[in-house]
Structure 1
Amino acid sequence: MSRFRSLLQASVNATKRAFTWNIEEWIPPPEKYIFKFHSKEDLKKWHLYSDSEYGGLSSASLEIPDGGKGSDGTGIFSGNLSVDLSEGSKWNISRSGFCGMRSKKFDGFIDLDGYDAIAMRLRGDGRCYISTIPLARYLPTWRGNVIDVEMEMNPGRVLGMSLSVNAEGGAVGAKSGAGDFRVEIDWIKALRMP
């Protein structure tokens, strides 16, 4: 009978442990790295795009300079924004002058549920770069512009992220117009605000 009681007690204890909800295990850490830009392998997670896909003349690159690291161990997203269109283009576009980098599709999705914001550590050149930061204020973009669409983002099923630059528009006082652009990117992470 004592053997039965010890088996029963062990079973009850195991069941209690299985059903005990430890809140610390369910709260995400205060920050979560999503992307780092420290190696050529890190850069393979990104796809570049520009108006050149539609008849524009802008160009972009994403690279790690000599020695495998940027000036501060960062990736460099740079290029040239052109507002001109190529002669005889088969595309009928009304504007040009944009470049961007978009993450390749995740294996499934990335879960940012429980986080409030996206933070980036970067060094810009005075231009306005577009990327949505507060998750609650997510704004969809297309070709370097915010689009007006009624859309609700599900932070638990993020499929990708992007960073873009547009020759025209941006924040007041920001550098604009055709010409070179350059931004050094160290990391992108999700933050849980206190």
Structure 2
Amino acid sequence: MSRFKNFLQTSVDATKRALTWNVENLMPPAEKIIFNFGSKEELQKWHLYSDSQYGGLSSASLETKDCGIGFRGVFSGNLSSDVAPEARLKINRSGFCGMRSKKFNGFIDLDSYDTIMMKVKGDGRSYISTIYTENWVNSPGKEEDNSWQAFLFVPKGDWHIAKIPLDDYLPTWRGSIIDANMEMNPARVVGMSLSVNAEGGIPGTKIGTGDFQLEIDCIKAISCRFCRN
């Protein structure tokens, strides 16, 4: 009988270990690194855009900076409301710059997460964080990805951990919010971008033309259902 009890207990313990292993392996990682700017190669995943493509005079650059303990990305430039004389009848607005990731090879699945976290160092301006998802809202024949945007305020000075819940991202069409009851599909993310405008943003932040600079350490997806502050 004692031998049988020992065998039974051993079987129960083994079953518990197997169930625990299965549950742990089904759980997603606590965070998912989307971009890590710790190397120069990371910049090859991005491209720049600005109003200069349409005749505006804003300019932007994306470089790496050696901080002594590793590299960081630096998105900087100058916002201008002026336009080239020959483009004054062609351009609708000016004073914007952005950095957009090249389209992912397929898509990334963020369905297990609820928050985008960024470690950044800025200049007191508001930036715009954009998530691009696979096109399933637009009508057939339109190739543009669906875009979802939220403001990112970066205090001037020290490194700052910014957390933006996915629920805060609003559907947009070419920079304008869409007045529609729509939900993002976080399982089909195809790209991201960060941009800055001379006008608009969170009240009380720095606005207007002039220089801007945003240092970026990393962009991650995290699960923060109980730590939204």
Aligned length: 172
Matched, 1:147 2:165: no
Equivalence for 1:100: 98
Equivalence for 2:62: 62
Matched, 1:119 2:117: yes
Matched, 1:75 2:106: no
Give SS of 1:64's match: strand
* 8 Å CA contact 1:98, 1:167 repeated in 2: yes
Give SS of 2:107's match: coil
**How far does residue 146 in structure 1 lie from its aligned partner after superposition?**
4.8
Matched, 1:161 2:192: yes
Q: Distance in 2 between matches of 1:71 and 1:51?
A: 34
Q: Distance in 2 between matches of 1:71 and 1:59?
A: 28
- The 1:63/1:142 distance shift into structure 2, 3 A limit, reads farther
**How far does residue 142 in structure 1 lie from its aligned partner after superposition?**
6.2
Instruction: Give TM-score, length-normalised by structure 2.
Output: 0.69
Give SS of 2:104's match: coil
Unpaired runs of at least 5, structure 2: 1-19, 130-149, 151-163
CA RMSD in angstroms comes to: 2.3
Q: 1:6-41 deviations in whole A, cap 9, x for unaligned?
A: xxxxxxxxxxxxxx9923222211111110112210
Equivalence for 1:6: none
Matches within 5 A, 1:80-95: 80-89=78-87, 92-95=90-93
Q: Distance in 2 between matches of 1:47 and 1:157?
A: 21
Q: Distance in 2 between matches of 1:149 and 1:108?
A: 29
Higher normalized strand content (fraction of residues): 2
Unpaired runs of at least 5, structure 1: 1-19
**How far does residue 53 in structure 1 lie from its aligned partner after superposition?**
1.0
Equivalence for 1:129: 127
Which stretch of the first structure deviates more once superposed, 83-92 or 73-82?
83-92
Give SS of 2:53's match: helix
Residue identity over aligned pairs, in percent, reads 65
Give SS of 2:206's match: coil
- The 1:25/1:102 distance shift into structure 2, 3 A limit, reads same
Instruction: Give TM-score, length-normalised by structure 1.
Output: 0.80
